[in-house]
């Protein structure tokens, strides 16, 4: 039995993908590693094939036409046979000790015949040049070492939201809720985390520093200049998340509040990128995004627009945009997200 399916989406990843693969291999036959080559033009396919040949019962090499990160996640899910599904980007890796602790927890679910939809663990910003690595944990928000529900969660800080790095979903849940990420689009990891949430009934948090999130490559999607150049994709993802749910219909009050705050963060990121681009066309797109939210869900619009984040992003005029930009710069230094 495969307890966890690890998908590693790869595009021209030959330089660093082996570190990701090798960090998971110690788990042996308890896991499968699905290396999805997304139409790479370097030696990615050859490296994946070599690992599949050496570890035929653990590693699957899947080659596909280029469709972007989200499409590679979809294809990985299509090939997944493990009880849980975890995405590891090709320039990231996992901690071996934490890996075994998570496997022990998943095995205990099987032994006790417990169905847990979502397993959460910590992640670490492996930022180049930073001596002290920032760890994102949830020990002040989530019950530890027990199965719980949305009504049991606490209040998340701004830097504590559940990202792709911190979550394992039950594979069957993702398939049943028909999660499909759009092709040729960056920042779809937000959809990956957000869309399944109302389908999740049971959760489990284990306080281990499992995922190592590398930040430092100039071409990385979270680099601010790169994000501004891809602002239309960020806006598309945010609109897609607005379209997914009428939040007033979410039954759990705490989940509804969590999703509202997550959407507020997405609106904030989209807005600040438009502001920092200093492009009049992007400022128009920012106004259109807020109007889109207002038209689609007026109540959610009012709660976000007149919350702290919404007010900070919508101070009128050039001085207002400067204040918004300064607030973002302070938050970025405190949180260390790019």
**Is the pLDDT assigned to residue 60 strictly greater than 90?**
yes
Model confidence pLDDT, tens digit, residues 85-135: 999 999 999 999 999 999 999 999 999 999 999 999 999 998 776 677 889
Geometric angle at alpha carbon 25, from 21 and 30, rounded to 5°: 125
Q: Which residues pair with 36 in a beta bridge?
A: 9, 62
Model confidence pLDDT, tens digit, residues 193-240: 999 999 999 999 999 999 999 987 555 545 678 888 899 999 999 999
State which H helix or E strand residue 1 sits in: none
A 10 A CB-CB count for 233 gives: 18
Where would I find the beta strands (DSSP E) of the chain? 4-10, 31-38, 59-64, 84-87, 93-94, 118-127, 134-136, 147-148, 167-170, 203-215
CB 51 within 8 A of CB 21: yes
In the chain, which segments carry CATH 3.90.550.10? Answer: 2-213
**Is the pLDDT assigned to residue 337 strictly greater than 50?**
no
Using DSSP, state whether 217 is helix, strand or coil.
coil
Instruction: Report pLDDT for 336.
Output: 47
Which fold is adopted by the domain 2-213? Spore Coat Polysaccharide Biosynthesis Protein SpsA; Chain A (3.90.550)
CB 288 within 8 A of CB 271: no
**Is the pLDDT assigned to residue 328 strictly greater than 80?**
no
Instruction: Indicate the pTM of the whole model.
Output: 0.91
- Nearest one of 92, 68, 11, 20 to 44, comparing CA atoms: 11
**Is the pLDDT assigned to residue 18 strictly greater than 90?**
yes
CA distance 44 to 232: 29
Q: Which residues, 6 or more positions from 106, have their beta carbon under 8 angstroms from its beta carbon?
A: 3, 4, 83, 84, 119
């Amino acid at each position: 039995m495969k307890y966890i399916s690890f998908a590693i989406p790869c595009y021209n990843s030959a330089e660093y993908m082996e570190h990701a693969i090798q960090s998971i291999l110690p788990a042996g036959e308890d896991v499968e590693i699905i290396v999805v080559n997304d139409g790479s033009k370097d030696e990615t396919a050859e490296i994946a094939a070599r690992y599949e040949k050496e570890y035929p019962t653990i590693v699957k090499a899947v080659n596909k036409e280029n469709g972007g990160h989200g499409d590679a996640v979809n294809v990985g899910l299509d090939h997944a046979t493990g009880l849980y599904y975890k995405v590891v980007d090709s320039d990231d890796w996992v901690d071996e000790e934490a890996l075994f602790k998570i496997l022990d927890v998943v095995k205990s679910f099987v032994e006790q015949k417990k169905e847990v939809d979502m397993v959460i663990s910590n992640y670490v910003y492996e930022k180049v040049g930073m001596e002290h690595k920032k760890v994102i944990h949830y020990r002040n928000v989530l019950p530890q070492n027990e199965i719980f529900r949305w009504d049991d969660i606490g209040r998340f800080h701004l830097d504590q939201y559940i990202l792709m790095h911190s979550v394992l979903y039950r594979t069957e849940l993702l398939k049943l809720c028909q999660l499909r990420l759009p092709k040729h689009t960056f920042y779809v990891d937000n959809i990956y985390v957000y869309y399944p949430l109302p389908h999740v009934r049971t959760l489990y948090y284990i306080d281990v520093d499992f995922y190592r999130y590398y930040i430092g490559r100039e071409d990385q999607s979270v680099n601010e200049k790169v994000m501004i150049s891809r602002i239309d994709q960020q806006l598309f993802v945010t609109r897609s998340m607005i379209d997914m749910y009428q939040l007033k219909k979410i039954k759990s009050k705490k989940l509804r509040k969590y999703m509202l705050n997550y959407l507020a963060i997405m609106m904030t990121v989209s807005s600040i990128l438009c502001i920092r681009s200093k492009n009049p066309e992007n400022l128009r797109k920012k106004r259109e995004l807020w109007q889109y939210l207002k038209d689609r869900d007026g109540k959610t619009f009012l709660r976000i627009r007149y919350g702290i984040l919404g007010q900070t992003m919508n101070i009128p005029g050039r001085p207002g945009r400067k204040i918004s930009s300064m607030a973002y710069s302070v938050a970025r230094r405190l949180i260390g997200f790019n």
